[in-house]
Amino acid sequence: MGKLISAAVAGIIGALLAGTAVWGVVDSATKAPSKNPASAPIVSYGNR
């Protein structure tokens, strides 16, 4: 019975860690950029 409980606890902790890691990756990948990249000029015609 003790091995079953320790296996269940290890599985729950592992699932929580994996879920936290996946949530962190998805959150950072879908976060909006700090500034709008479309507002910067793409081509500069020598106007400096």
Tens of pLDDT, residue by residue over 12-34, are: 999 999 999 999 888 888 877 78
Task: Give just the sign of the alpha carbon dihedral 25, 27, 30, 32.
Answer: negative
Q: Whose structure tokens read 């000029």?
A: 41
CA 1/CA 8 separation, integer angstroms: 11
Confidence category of residue 1, pLDDT binned at 50, 70, 90: confident
* pLDDT above 90 for 3: yes
**Per-residue pLDDT, 47:** 62
pTM of the model: 0.56
Cβ count near 3 (within 10 Å)? 7
CA 35/CA 39 separation, integer angstroms: 8
